[in-house]
Amino acid sequence: MVSKVNMAVDLGGIKMKNPINTASGTYGFGWQFEGFYDVSRLGAITTKGCAAEPWPGNPAPRMAEVTSGMMNSVGLQNPGVRGLVDSYGEYLQQLSDKGTQVICQVAGHSVDEYVRAVDLFEELAPFAAGLEINISCPNIAAGGCAMGSTPEGAAEVIRAVRSHTKRPLLVKMAPARVVEVAQALEAEGADALTVINSISGMAIDVDTRRSRLSRPTGGMSGPALHPIAVRMVWEVHNAVNIPIVGVGGVMTGRDAAEFILAGATSVSVGMANLVDPTAAPRILDELTEWAESQGISDINELIGAFEG
């Protein structure tokens, strides 16, 4: 659809033709959705997180439906950076050539692993418009992802990787101490922040008395998280001067609009992709219709326009 409103945004140096992005881990590497719609309609996609070496992830069961959301304990299974490039690099380059920005998520168990993964992306992935450093993963028992829970730990990771790339650096934040962590990340040179990751929770099978996942806890995502994520985006927006990707329970264009008004420059569609494979372009159309209804000429006029 041709919009009367300019929908282009600048996500910390990543020029997006519209604000709609996809949340890492819910969208594979993009090609999986081409049978449902033209993925190049989206402003960006964020690929599944990849580490320097392949990770097997957690054993099954890995996902469970819960009230107004889902639990997952995938454990960041991934083919490693080389595996990503070898298997999907050609498609991702074509997607980039069509004007949809490819953001590659980086995973690690330690600072050194993050650095090695960033170096591999630098060497092998010319299609990557930016790198999203995942320092917040409730499916990983310990290691690098746990560092995202404190300002000091989060800053250590970004301080280490910042000098290894000139590409925009995004950081996937944990839903904890968001203002302090965001300020620490901005000080270390992060270009944008992804707010928030899933929230740690539990789902118990009351008949077997065992977890419905292979581990006692997992990450909860979906509509139940949306008001929490909107609040955290608003808090971070008021604390830093770098752009924000709002993520958490976006099922409709109006959900996306809440993030924009709270201060997000871009909005990621996550669990909705698993419920409705055509969710992302539908949400884009609904967000565009909402922007047109606001009587403005540019979506950027609405970023942070919440009036209290």
Q: Which residue among the candidates 50, 104, 137, 145 is catalytic per the annotation? A: 137
- Encode 216-244: b = buried (16+ Cβ within 10 Å), e = exposed: ebbbbbbbbbbeebbebbbbbbeebebbb
Distances (CA, A) of 222 to 28, 227, 257, 284, 303: 17, 11, 16, 18, 23
104 is catalytic: no
Q: How far apart are CA 237 and CA 35, in angstroms?
A: 36
Q: How far apart are CA 265 and CA 272, in angstroms?
A: 20
Q: How far apart are CA 165 and CA 16, in angstroms?
A: 20
Cβ-count burial of 5 within 10 angstroms (0-12 exposed, 13-18 middle, 19+ buried)? buried
Instruction: Give φ, ψ of 108 to 5 degrees.
Output: -170, 155
Name the residue among 27, 38, 36 with its Cα closest to residue 1: 38
Number of neighbouring beta carbons within 10 Å of residue 46: 29
List, by residue number, the catalytic residues: 137
